């Protein structure tokens, strides 16, 4: 008989109990023993929920004290040298030290988990001697069994994926590292086998990314070793986020089951199943319920998909499961009571997805769709209601967007021709100085916002407060000697939420938190309807700031792609269309700013790279429409209006061509963390538009010295044209303190003066 399964459950808790416990522990307000106790309660509660929802195969070891990749690394004793680890069990202080840094050693790097917004800690292999420090999956298995009598399915990250996510070794050393890790994996698995564990879920999401011949061979080595050394254990080779590459070879691997993502990898995986079949002797983990989207599944569509699959695999070889871990969705819709009803009814977070799995299993095992007729009707009704709602049928806007996106958006003049006109208008000095937008959000700023949100302050009081902040910072910026000023973004908590709240088509949940990294959770807005511009969003503050100074004040917007990539979005239309709707709405804001006399407008796109598809062959298309959306947002302004953009904290060196195609007059792009690479890419291909590389790292409270910044500037000017180069910090200053910010900016201006003197003669 078919079974149901979940690949992982969110660890943060419905009220972010997990986050709160971790942070209390870090702050010294919770003893280690109490932390252990609290986290155990959360874990057990999550298992109980899944048990009560009727899930057959429940994951264990999906829980973490911070991050599952860090767990795997510490389990194998992979601790960066600088932490001076001397063997034995890894204490919690060391575990958190790696993640967050200690006074003596810098934290390990973190980076995005495939194409999600979850960030993992990057294992560093350099110079380490892997050893087993503890068997985490075994401990989790025992705990679930002891507490609730659950026969859990331990989850581990597979060796190929683990190696691909690690750093600190040369490409030629992969096999060496594999040979060192494999025995440790065998040891862990053997102990599980001896314990009587039946199934283990081996996560190998790397199988959906490009694989070469050597990878295929590695997979054969890995899984035939496991088959030989731990023959009593059944392995579910689990993939997700896309369709698997090299399907025909992967299905030959000696494992008992293969898990496929039939949501995000639907087309590719289904086609592969049709072309190559599915081995009779293996279990198919059919990932039909979206593990990372927030929408209800169409039960009708899923039942019919499962019916097709049951033609291919036997009943007892089918597991109906989530497409990936539920880590990427909020916990429950239950607590939401302020959402539009047609939206609320169409949502399914983690707990609602458990129900879907159980319903689908019921349909598959007891006579098809009829077995769940009532629920199926209710579900289809909810989806239809949302589809028919006014929010999804704003016809005028849809027509306007269609018309605008049928054109090729382009500035009136090319950069080489508009640049001199802009120079004439602005009369900026060589190496103009500016900042990225936000200034420190002090306790006072946050308190003010709370007062206003709670109704203790009325609109006028709050606005007066914001104006005072702007006054202070306009004066400071003038005094520091910056050339292009900003208003400071004091009215914004979050650069996406701020715009989402003011545009039609968005909704905000109360408790829709998901883990972003460590204890940091984000609550992405939901784009559920057609996006529409309603009224000017930034003109008031920007014009006010401009009225206080003769220097130019840059308007500050978040770009269409960033808004989209940091939101949960509707799935009834392609992402490309959502991007164009956003672009069209933001264009109206750009025009409103220009109409109010603002002549420099920055459209931030820090997240432009985050939407990049995992499959190489799909990337160009994404970049094309992402660039187009940016151009659509910015192309209608006058020749003398200067468009800026900003990008940060991603590897951009492989997409400079696309960035250039965005045709912004000035880009500030972060490099202080990946300095070498980006500068190097400008050696190969210089950048012919205005550019600032970020002369200091805003993530540290340390005030950079003048000489550090002059040397950064000099380095950049070896490959970039001084006439097009801008001087700025590498990101917004929101998280910094006032004093250090002022000191750092003063040094930055000083460094600029030195560089100007050095380069004035050459220009
Ligand atoms: N303008 C934004 C700020 O300065 C940009 C933030 C970002 O790049 N993430 O805060
Ligand atoms: Zn930034």
User: Could you state, in order of their start, the residue ranges of all structural domains in the chain?
Assistant: 56-328
Q: Please, what is the Cα angle at 439 between 436 and 441, to 5 degrees? A: 135
Would you state the pLDDT for residue 672?
Answer: 55
Cβ contact 553:482 at 8 Å: no
The span from the CA of 297 to the CA of 290, in Å, is 7
Cβ(590)–Cβ(636) under 8 Å? yes
**Residues 567 and 500: beta-carbon distance below 8 Å:** yes
Pocket test for ligand 1, best of 117, 435, 436, 441 (most atoms within 8 A of CB): 436
Contact predicate 580/530, CB 8 Å = no
What is the distance between the alpha carbons of residues 210 and 194, in angstroms, rounded to a whole number? 35
Backbone angles phi, psi at 603, to 5 degrees: -115, 105
Of 113, 69, 111, 321, the C-alpha closest to 209 is: 113
669 CA distance to ligand 2 middle (Å): 8
- Where does 367-511 have alpha helices with state H? 373-388, 395-405, 415-426, 443-454, 459-480, 497-500
Ligand 1 near 362 CB (within 6 A): no
Q: Which two tokens stand for residue 480?
A: 């520091």
Q: What is the pLDDT of residue 546?
A: 98
What's the half-sphere exposure (Cβ side, CA atoms, 13 Å) at 483? 18
Q: Is 685 a catalytic residue?
A: no
For residue 558, which atom of ligand 1 is closest to its CA? 1
pLDDT of res. 294: 98
Whole-model pTM? 0.95
3-state SS, residue 156: strand
∠ CA 49-60-100, nearest 5°, is 105
Structure tokens at 172: 């030629």
**Which token pair is 439?**
């200034």
**Dist. CA 618–CA 612, nearest whole Å:** 8
Strands 526-532 and 554-558: unpaired
Q: What is the pLDDT of residue 653?
A: 82
Whose Cα sits closest to atom 1 in ligand 1? 437
**How far apart, in whole angstroms, are the C-alpha atoms of residue 90 and residue 629?**
48
Beta bridge partners of 286: 260, 320
Copy the structure tokens of residue 228: 């030989």
Strands 234-238 and 257-261 turn out to be parallel
Give the position, in ligand 1's atom list, of the atom nearest the Cα of 556. 1
Quickly count: other Cβ atoms within 10 Å of residue 576's Cβ. 16
Q: What residues of the chain score a pLDDT lower than 70? A: 671-677, 761-763
Q: What is the DSSP letter of 703?
A: P
Ligand 1 pocket: which of 494, 734, 736, 745 to mutate (most atoms <8 Å of CB)?
Answer: 734
685 near 656, Cβ under 8 Å? yes
Of 735, 656, 759, the C-alpha closest to 436 is 735
Model pLDDT for residues 336-371, shown as the tens digit of each residue:
999 999 999 999 999 999 999 999 999 999 989 999
556 lines ligand 1 (CB under 6 A): yes
Q: List Cβ neighbours of 213 (8 Å cut-off, separation of 6 or more).
A: none
Helix (H) or strand (E) holding 42: helix 32-52
Q: Relative to the CA of 647, which ligand 1 atom is closest?
A: 8
Q: Do 742 and 449 meet the contact criterion of CB atoms below 8 Å apart?
A: no
Pocket test for ligand 1, best of 604, 671, 698, 699 (most atoms within 8 A of CB): 604
Decide: 596 and 539 in contact? Cβ < 8 Å. yes
Answer whether 604 contacts ligand 1 (Cβ < 6 A).
yes
Closest Cα to residue 519, out of 7, 26, 106? 26
Considering the four listed CATH numbers 3.50.50.60, 3.20.20.210, 3.40.50.2000, 1.25.10.10, the one that applies to the domain covering 56-328 is 3.20.20.210
**Is 365 exposed, middle or buried (CB count within 10 Å of its CB: 0-12, 13-18, 19+)?**
middle
The whole-angstrom separation of Cα 462 and Cα 51 is 49
Residue minimizing CA distance to atom 9 of ligand 1: 606
Ligand 1 contact, 646 CB (< 6 A): yes
| Element (DSSP H or E) covering residue 202 | strand 199-203
Distance 691 CA to ligand 1 centre (A): 16
pLDDT value of residue 675: 52
User: For residue 698, which ligand has an atom nearest its CA?
Assistant: 2
Here the tokens at position 271 are 């086609």
């Amino acid at each position: 008989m078919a079974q149901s399964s979940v690949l992982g459950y969110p660890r943060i808790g419905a009220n972010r109990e997990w986050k709160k416990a971790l942070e209390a522990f870090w702050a010294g307000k919770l003893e280690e023993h109490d932390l252990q106790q609290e986290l155990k309660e959360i874990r057990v509660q999550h298992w109980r929920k899944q048990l009560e929802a009727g899930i057959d195969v429940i994951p264990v070891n999906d829980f973490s004290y911070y991050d599952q990749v860090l767990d795997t690394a510490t389990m194998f004793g992979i601790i960066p040298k600088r932490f001076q680890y001397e063997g034995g069990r890894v204490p919690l202080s060391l575990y958190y030290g790696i993640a967050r840094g200690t006074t003596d050693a810098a934290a390990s790097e973190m980076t995005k988990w495939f194409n999600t917004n979850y960030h993992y800690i990057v294992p560093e292999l350099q110079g380490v001697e892997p050893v087993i420090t503890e068997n985490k999956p075994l401990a989790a298995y025992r705990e679930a069994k002891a507490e609730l009598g659950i026969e859990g399915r331990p989850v581990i990250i597979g060796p190929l994926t683990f190696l691909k996510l690690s750093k600190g070794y040369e490409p030629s050393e992969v096999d060496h590292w594999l040979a060192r890790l494999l025995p440790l994996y065998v040891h862990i698995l053997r102990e599980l086998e001896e314990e009587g564990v039946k199934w283990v879920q081996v996560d190998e999401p790397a199988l959906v990314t490009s694989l070469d011949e050597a990878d295929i061979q590695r997979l054969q080595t890995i899984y035939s070793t496991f088959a030989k050394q731990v023959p009593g254990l059944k392995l579910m080779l689990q993939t997700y986020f896309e369709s698997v590459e090299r399907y025909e070879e992967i299905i030959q691997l000696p494992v008992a089951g293969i898990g496929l993502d039939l949501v995000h990898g639907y087309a590719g995986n289904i086609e592969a199943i049709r072309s190559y079949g599915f081995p009779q002797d293996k279990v198919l983990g059919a990932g039909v319920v979206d593990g990372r989207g927030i929408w209800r599944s169409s039960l009708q569509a899923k039942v019919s998909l499962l019916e097709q699959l049951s033609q291919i695999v036997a009943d007892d070889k089918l597991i109906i499961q989530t497409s990936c871990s539920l880590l990427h969705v909020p916990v429950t819709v239950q607590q939401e009571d302020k959402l539009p009803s047609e939206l609320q009814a169409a949502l399914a977070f983690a707990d609602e997805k458990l129900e879907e799995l159980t319903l689908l299993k019921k349909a598959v095992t007891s006579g098809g769709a009829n077995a769940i007729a009532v629920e199926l009707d209710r579900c289809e009704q909810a989806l239809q209601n949302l589809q028919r709602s006014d929010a999804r049928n704003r016809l005028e806007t849809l027509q306007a967007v269609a018309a605008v996106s049928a054109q090729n958006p382009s500035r009136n003049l090319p950069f080489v021709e508009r640049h001199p006109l802009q120079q004439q208008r602005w009369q900026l000095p060589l190496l103009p100085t500016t900042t990225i937008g936000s200034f420190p959000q002090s306790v006072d700023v946050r308190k003010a916002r709370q007062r206003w949100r709670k109704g203790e302050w009325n609109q006028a009081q709050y606005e007066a407060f914001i104006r005072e902040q702007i006054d202070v910072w306009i004066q400071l910026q003038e005094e520091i000697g910056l050339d292009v000023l900003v208003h400071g973004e004091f009215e914004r908590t979050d650069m996406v939420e701020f715009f989402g709240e003011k545009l039609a088509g968005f909704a905000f949940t109360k408790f829709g938190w998901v883990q972003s990294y460590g204890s940091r959770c984000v609550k992405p807005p939901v784009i559920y309807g057609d996006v529409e511009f309603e009224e000017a969003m930034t003109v008031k503050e920007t014009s006010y700031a401009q009225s206080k100074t003769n220097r130019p004040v840059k308007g500050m917007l978040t770009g269409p792609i960033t808004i989209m990539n940091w939101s949960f979005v509707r799935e009834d239309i392609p992402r490309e269309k959502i991007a164009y709707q956003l672009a069209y709405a933001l264009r109206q804001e750009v025009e409103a700013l220009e109409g109010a006399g603002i002549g420099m407008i920055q459209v931030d796109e820090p997240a432009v790279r985050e939407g990049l598809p995992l499959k190489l062959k799909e990337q160009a298309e994404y970049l094309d429409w992402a660039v187009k959306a940016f151009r659509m947002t910015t192309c209608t302004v006058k020749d003398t209006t200067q468009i800026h953009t900003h990008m940060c904290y991603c590897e951009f060196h492989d997409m400079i061509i696309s960035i250039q195609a965005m045709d912004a007059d000035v880009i500030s792009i972060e490099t202080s963390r990946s300095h070498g690479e980006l500068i190097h890419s400008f050696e190969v291909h210089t950048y012919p538009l205005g550019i600032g590389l970020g002369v200091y790292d805003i993530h540290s409270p340390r005030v950079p010295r003048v000489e550090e910044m002059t040397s950064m500037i000099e380095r950049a000017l070896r490959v970039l044209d001084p006439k097009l180069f801008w001087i700025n910090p590498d990101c917004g200053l929101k998280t910094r303190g006032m004093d250090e910010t002022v000191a750092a900016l003063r040094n930055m201006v000083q460094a600029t003066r030195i560089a100007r003197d050095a380069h004035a003669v050459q220009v």
